[in-house]
Structure 1
Amino acid sequence: MPELLPWEDVELIAELSECSSATHPAICPCDHLDKYRSISGFCNNRQNPLWGAANTPLVRWLPAEYEDGEREPKGWNQGRLHNGFQLPSPHEVSKKILRTSSMGKEDVYSHMLVEWGQYIDHDISFTPQSSGSAAFQTGVDYDITGGKSCLPFFRSVAACFLSFGSDIEKSLQRQQMNAITSFMDASVVYGHTPKMESSLRDPSGLNGKLVVNCKFKDHKGRPYLPFVNKHSVLHTLWMREHNRIAEVFKHMNGHWNSETIYQETRKIIGAVHQIITMRDHVPKIIGSKSFEDYIGPYRGYDPTTDPSVSNVFATAAFRFGHATIPQIVRRMNESFQEHEHFPSLRLHHTLFSPWRIVKEGGIEPTLRGVIGTAAKAFSANMLLSDEVTERLVVLNTPQHMDLASLNLQRGRDHAIPGYNEWREFCGLKRIKTLDDFQEVVKDCKVAKKILEIYKHPDNIDVWLGGLVEKFLPGARVGPLFACLIGKQMKALCDGDRFWWEADGVFTQQQRAELSRVSLSRLICDNSDIKQIPLDSFIFRKYPSGFVSCDQIPSINLEAWRDENSPGELKKLSAFKVCFFTAFI
């Protein structure tokens, strides 16, 4: 069989495999994208232009384990045995292992650590769901009254495995799509398609700014986001920060046109996302030793590294944070006490309710709440809050959902190999006996209960197995998730041609200024909060550990003052094009 297939055959394979039909030839610009990254991530890597691009399959670090080898999820066939046993239903595992009505002890970190993890996850991965629901035989669930019922489940949209040299077997096998760019590029702020990007920009097109809510502002005149149902306070901060920097650039570099102002500002915002995540967030999650072992110091752009988000990272490892979701969303006053006018809310009363920000005090009460509240330190016997296992609100679904069941079924839908396969992948010892598992979990009752339900250690779902491992020193995950998160983060920085530390992306002076950024400074510059910890991820009980915003370092944008001739920076559409055919 020839290595490359005719286009008609590729289209037929796409149809047979139920892949998305949004595939079309594209061209790779030669010059312009050397200065600014594309909105879709396309051509970040010139040798492999689809690496990390939006609407491409999540990569697999281990082969998929479909029951039929192609598309049937684990547990699809009720009579099929795995290592001699039937897989337990996700809801049974959720009810017997994962649910808790009590909260763990207070962590040394603030709830901002949780919020940032969720926020940055939305910047690097999003797997859309199909429009049709399905019920799985081994996934038949039971409601809290004991009556037999099914939770609706929507399979992830299939994406074609289309690349030069792909074979029929891989093309026919169901793959899941990452609908956004894998790069840490602030696509959560700017979008990942030209159409979406255009909708988020100021329609006047004269100042390089982002669009704002034209009806409402806070009491200091600061803008809000246009109304949608899912943006958080962090999105509002970034919109304000972009417009703040764009305004400075407009006056400082008067010869810059609106496109240059926009692109230069976007470039800075993307870099700040990378710095806060890799310097301030990830080491707290995987621990300093794992950070050193799996990531280490930056050594420059590596075009042989595929930065694409892996299926196991998106579907299991980075979902560890679901165990840290609180029951209560705190809202605090200027003294970081319960707000007298806007009391704290149960989580399910805040989901998809952006009007609360406008009508109930702006972003400040919620921001103070996530800064001034200690994160929940979960453990093997206290995992997911009943707010997300019994009262989770999901758009277009009339009933409350169970996040734990959804996560477990999602892993099976994606044919993710089991816990032991991933431990071996990471060079860790496979679990063979109860004693082995107890050594890893450090909770004898939980280890025993899991093996009683799954019957065989090779049957344990990777999300559950990774979640119950004892934390590494200074970390918030165990050795398996530290490995998987560390490997993914390493790929994201090494495989990104526009990583903020890469040669030629910023000048030495600009990099020095960027290294001064912090989440606390961002909050100070774009809200009415006047006192804050130097590191917003560290929990401090007010006023101890809080400093005035005047004491927090800020970036000096003078490093971006441009003395070049106007003509050099205005040629954004006149560039040479090399015709490199690819499919996006």
Structure 2
Amino acid sequence: MSSRKQANLLNERISLVCLVFLWISPVVFATNYGADLVKDDNERLFLRDVESHILETERWLHEQAGQDGTDGELFERSRRDPHDLLMQFGFTHMMSDRMANAVRVLKNVSSTYSERTLSELSGPAKRELCSAAGVDYTVSDCPSTSIYRTHNGACNNPLNVNWGKAFTPFVRQLPAAYADALDNPRLAKSGEALPPPRLVCLGTIKDAEKDHDNSADHWTLLSMHFGQFLDHDVDHSALENVNCTCEITPKCLPIMIPSNDSFFTAHCFKFQRSVAVPDEDCNTSPRQQLNQITSFLDLSQVYGNSETQGKSLRDLSKGKGLLLSIDDPNSDVGHELLPNDEEHKDCIIASPQLKCGRTGDARAAEQPGLASLHTVLLRQHNRIAEKLSILNPGWNDEKLYQEARAVCIAMWQHIVYNEYLPPLLGSKNMAKHGLQVHPTSYLFGYDPHVNPSISNVFATAAFRMGHSQIPTTLLKLDRDYAEIEHVKLDETFFNATHLVTSPGHSGMDAFLRGMIVQKLLTIDLLLTAPITKHLFADPEDGQGLDLAALNIQRGRDHSIADYNAWRKYCKLPEAGSFDDLLDVMSEATVSVFRKTYESVNDIDLFPALIGETPERGQLVGATLACLIGEQFHRLKFGDRFWYENGLGEQAFKKAQLLEIRKVTMARVLCDTTNDVPTIQPYVFRVADTGTPPENAIKSFYTYSRENHFPGDAGDMPGFFNGRVSCQGDDNIPELNLEPWTEGYVDVTEDDGLDVPFGG
């Protein structure tokens, strides 16, 4: 027997053992988890007393609601006020409010019985106490079958059924850096207060009134829009739903504006703190924050984060597994639009028939680029579901929906790792973190001990790097890629009028064409005025909010450690002085940090991350590459439903996986737009013009299978990215859904899926 055959046989045996384990373990571990009972009689009596006190506290808090000043009043709307739009963007689910109330109850209990007494309770007792207060992160039962993902992310991991689930705390890779080890924001090394966030911005970040010349060579603005859409798939913290003023309270942490500010005249930016929740062990100190959505790359921004929400987004009337949609009222032909969100009170509507769209995420209408990508993925799901219904007329609505959802999620994961991440991180970091996709093989690298949950630092600082890539205007192009207009970003916030299809403007298609032509801005300390001065302003050129200042304050709210601590975490030398930062920053950047902060140990993480000089062949600096790479490693190897995973009943057939690997973002745009006749095969990269060199590869699908890219200098030698027809061009292959036909005979090992890899 050949060595290859022996290796294949060994892998099949390993697969069989692991598969049996994955089938039985969800039931075993979920059952054991629920049977973890409190057995100590004294502890049981104590718990009864505490639970009685919890009920008394809940009654008292209910009576006091709205009577303790600004901090206790529910947020009242003021249409189109910047702070109100910020609350719309930071939508807080009622589940988050319930958890926040539970923390207040538990803190009251702690003050009565002492932290020490409660900390000495056993794990089961603590969980029971948490449950009595209204918080239960645990899952007692998992579905009997694990072919499809749950909408809330539960039961993905058979050993830790709650990892990655919606409404669980962010994970911390470094301890919280609260000044009092409880919940007060970090202080400077000297013990004094850190400089106010707006003052930090004035000292370190330059405003750009128009798009600056610092464009990232070769890459398109689609990367920025795609990054925001991706971020909304994996993290969303909850904000306290209260009216804040310029007074610091337990729920409010206002950003004070210097009296000599050159632009803002208000005294402060109102700032609601993120909801405080117990950690997974039911400790309320130090303060911890909540992720309201699933951590997995599961298109939850399209499908929702609970079974109830998921069902509300479906069109159950046709029996084809479709998502709800509406026809474009301004077009006789064309693809469907997102259904109207009738509860969105801050949307500028295009007409009574066309409002901001309703999706699986409340932030979809924030700007037209984001809304366009939501629409694209809605159309993609419905397109696939329709085709599956033709191939499998015996499948019911649920089967068609779940299969189409699984295909779309797999395509999404493939595009994220095969197209979006490589230019961001560079080929060196892609290899370092095991992020490269394989051209032919299954992945046998799933690890149930890898926690895929989103880290606090990723959500609060690292993946906000895209804010530095936001342009001043959004480009709209016609079908021949001629300019229609530049739309000012600050007039598009929660504004549905820009997606209207009209003669000469072509609505969403015009924005999508603009995304794949407009150049991506570099990640640096130069941010555009629509987000540093006019964020959510009404009128659009008025005083809005400063997004950079909000990011810095959110980092302090979540007590993210200082930049130097994260350098050390990422194996960079710990800086003893500002000059030691010159290994990853320019002299000009180090100079502005030296003038703004008293100590090198005081620097807030967000401005430092975007201040790092991008390393050769990538769009980010060293610390950002570390934090982003590590998170995407965990999202890949900690996801049992990862599209390349060859173990378990959820695994795709070999032929199905080969088809999914054909998918590119260019193909998705071709299939879901009304009028994009030509497109470049790699839409994250600007289109090449002229005559292609001899023997150049013109298919991104082919090139990405044969090359680790980008090159050391960020280039793609041997690839020509010229525009080709969307219809019938082999350079942008189409997905063949025949392998999803009931009874389809799968391909054999000799057909190309026979070499296992482990990342």
State the TM-score, normalized to the length of structure 1. 0.88
Q: Say whether the 8 Å CA contact 1:124–1:182 is kept in structure 2.
A: yes
**Helix, strand or coil: the match of 1:171?**
coil
2:669 counterpart of 1:523 = yes
Match of 2:385 in 1: 246
Q: CA deviation at 1:277?
A: 0.6
Residue 403, structure 1, aligned to residue 547, structure 2: yes
Distance 1:299 1:93, change over 3 A: farther
1:344 paired residue among 479, 482, 486: 486
- Cα distance in structure 2, aligned partners of 1:99 and 1:160: 38
Residue type of the partner of 1:111?
A: L
- Deviations 1:525-574, CA, capped at 9 Å, x for gaps: 1112111110110012678721111321111100111129xxxxxxxxxx
Counterpart residue identity of residue 200, structure 2: V
1:106 deviates by 2.7
Residue 633 of structure 2 aligns to a residue whose secondary structure is helix
TM superposition shift of 1:272: 1.1
Q: 2:625 aligns with which of 479, 482, 504?
A: 482
Measure, in 1, the Cα distance between the counterparts of 2:413 and 2:553.
31
515-524 vs 101-110, greater mean Cα deviation? 101-110
- Secondary structure of residue in 2 paired with 1:189: helix
Does structure 2 retain, via aligned residues, the 8 Å contact 1:41–1:52? yes
* Residue in structure 2 matched with residue 441 of structure 1 by the alignment: 585
CA separation in 2, counterparts of 1:562 and 1:35? Answer: 16
Q: Percent identity of the aligned residues? A: 34
Aligned match of 2:194:
87
Change in 2 beyond 3 A, CA 1:364/1:144: same
Q: Does the 8 Å CA contact 1:104/1:378 hold for their aligned counterparts?
A: no
Q: Give 1:424's aligned residue.
A: 568
Taking the aligned partners of 1:191 and 1:17, their CA distance within structure 2 comes to 32
1:145, distance to aligned residue in structure 2 (A): 4.8
Moved more, 125-134 or 9-18: 9-18
Report the CA distance shift for 1:441/1:219 in structure 2 as closer, same or farther (over 3 A).
Answer: farther
Any conservation in 1 of the 2:476–2:510 contact (CA below 8 Å)?
yes
| Structure 1 residues 247 and 325: CA distance shift in structure 2, 3 A | same
Q: Which amino acid aligns with 1:141?
A: I
For 2:226 and 2:689, locate their aligned partners in 1 and report how far apart those are by CA, in whole Å.
21
Instruction: Provide the residue aligned with 1:288 in structure 2.
Output: 427
Equivalent in the alignment of 1:322: 467
Whether the 8 Å contact between 1:227 and 1:354 is mirrored in structure 2 is no
CA distance in 1, matches of 2:262, 2:271: 18
Distance, in Å, in 1 between the alignment partners of 2:427 and 2:190 is 37
Deviation, 1:394, is 7.2
Q: Does 1:149 align with 2:149?
A: no
Read off the aligned partner of 2:494 and give its amino acid letter.
Answer: F
Secondary structure of the structure 2 residue equivalent to 1:238: helix
Q: Does residue 180 in structure 1 map to residue 323 in structure 2?
A: no
User: Larger Cα Rg: Structure 1 or Structure 2?
Assistant: 2
The within-5 A match list for 1:241-280 is: 241-280=380-419
Q: How far apart are the structure 1 equivalents of 2:688 and 2:214?
A: 15
Aligned pair 1:385/2:531, yes or no?
no
Q: Does 1:74 align with 2:219?
A: no
SS in 1 for 2:215: strand
Which has the larger displacement, 10-19 or 515-524?
Answer: 10-19
Specify whether residues 173 and 205 from structure 1 end up closer, same or farther in structure 2 by C-alpha distance, changes over 3 A only. Answer: farther
Instruction: Give the count of matched residue pairs.
Output: 545
Give the secondary-structure state (helix, strand or coil) at the position aligned to 2:535.
Answer: coil
Return the match for 1:16 from 106, 130, 145: 106
2:185 matches 1:42 = no
Please list every run of 5 or more consecutive structure 1 residues that lacks an aligned counterpart in the other structure. 76-80, 565-584
What does residue 222 of structure 2 align with? 112
Aligned AA for 1:261? L
SS in 2 for 1:27: coil
Q: Is the 8 A contact 1:471 1:477 kept in 2?
A: yes
Unaligned runs of 5+ in 2: 1-37, 55-101, 109-129, 342-355, 357-363, 366-370, 437-442, 691-720, 745-759
State the AA in 2 paired with 1:350: T
Report if the CA contact (8 A) 2:224-2:470 is conserved. Answer: yes
After superposition, where does 1:361-372 map in structure 2 within 5 Å?
Answer: 361-372=506-517
Greater relative contact order (Cα < 8 A, sep 6+): 1
Q: Are the equivalent residues in 1 in contact too, given 2:139–2:162 (CA < 8 A)?
A: no
Match of 2:653 in 1: 507
1:68 to 1:521, Cα distance in 2 relative to 1, 3 A: same
Cα pair distance change 1:290/1:83, threshold 3 Å: farther
- Shift in CA distance, 304/440, structure 1 to aligned 2, threshold 3 Å: same
User: Counterpart in 2 of 1:204?
Assistant: 317
- Cα deviation code 1:59-110 (max 9, x no counterpart): 00011011221112235xxxxx533553111001112211322513332100
Partner of 1:356: 498
Task: Name the CA shift for 1:469/1:206 in 2 (closer, same or farther; >3 Å).
Answer: same
CA distance in 1, matches of 2:577, 2:680: 46
Indicate the RMSD between aligned Cα atoms, in angstroms.
2.6
What aligned pairs does 1:118-137 form with structure 2 within 5 A after superposition? 118-132=228-242, 133=244, 135=246, 136=248
Distance 1:319 1:516 in 2: 30
